[in-house]
Amino acid sequence: MSFTFERLEIPEVVLVRPTRLGDPRGFFAETYRESVFAGAGILGPFVQDNLARSGPRVLRGLHFQTPPRPQGKLIQVVRGAVFDVAVDLRRGSPTYARWVARELSDSDGSLMWVPPGFAHGYVVLSDGADITYKITAEYDPKLDRGVRWDDPAVGVAWPVRDPILSVRDRKLPLLADLETPF
C-alpha cells in the first residue's frame, strides 16, 4: 500500500491520496500508517477519532483548539463530499489569515492534514456526508475556539450559498477580534 502527499498552497496543509486496490467486489485502502506519515512530516500521536454526520449545505467551522493542547486533524470523507478549509492562525507566519481548501469525497478517499495552529471547517456539497477525523490532542471544551465562517478578512470562497449553521458558529468572532495563541 502507498500514499501520495501533496503540499498545498500553504505547505503545512497536506492532501493525502491513499492507493486503492479494487476489484469487482469493491476496494481496500490503508488510510494511515504511522511510519509513512511521519516520513511525510505528519506527526501524531493521534489520540482521538471523531465521526461527524452532516446534511446538505451544513457548514461547520471554523474551529480550533488552543494550547496547551492544540489539535492537528487528519480528515477524510467516508460518505458524500465536502469543501474542506484550513485557515492559518499562526501570527508571524507568511500565510497568516490565508486559507486553503480542497474538495474531499468518498469517490477518491483523499485525506487532508490540518496541523495545529490552523482553524478548520467544511461545508457539505452532497446530499449528506460522514467525515472522520484523527486528532492529535483530546477535545477540551475550555480550549475550544473558532473564527466566523464568513469573516471578510479571511475571505473563504465557500461554494454554497445560504449554508446551514449552528447557533455557536453564527456567533464566532472575527479574526481581528480574536487573540490567536499560535
C-alpha distances in angstroms, 102 versus 3, 81, 110, 163, 182? 17, 10, 10, 18, 24
Cβ within 8 Å of residue 95, ≥6 positions away: 9, 10, 88
Task: Give the chain's length.
Answer: 182
Q: How far apart are CA 126 and CA 118, in angstroms?
A: 25
Q: How far apart are CA 133 and CA 156, in angstroms?
A: 22
Residue among 109, 88, 110, 108 nearest 98 (CA)? 88
Q: How far apart are CA 70 and CA 57, in angstroms?
A: 28
Q: How far apart are CA 160 and CA 58, in angstroms?
A: 9
The residues annotated with a catalytic role in the active site are: 63, 133
DSSP 170: H
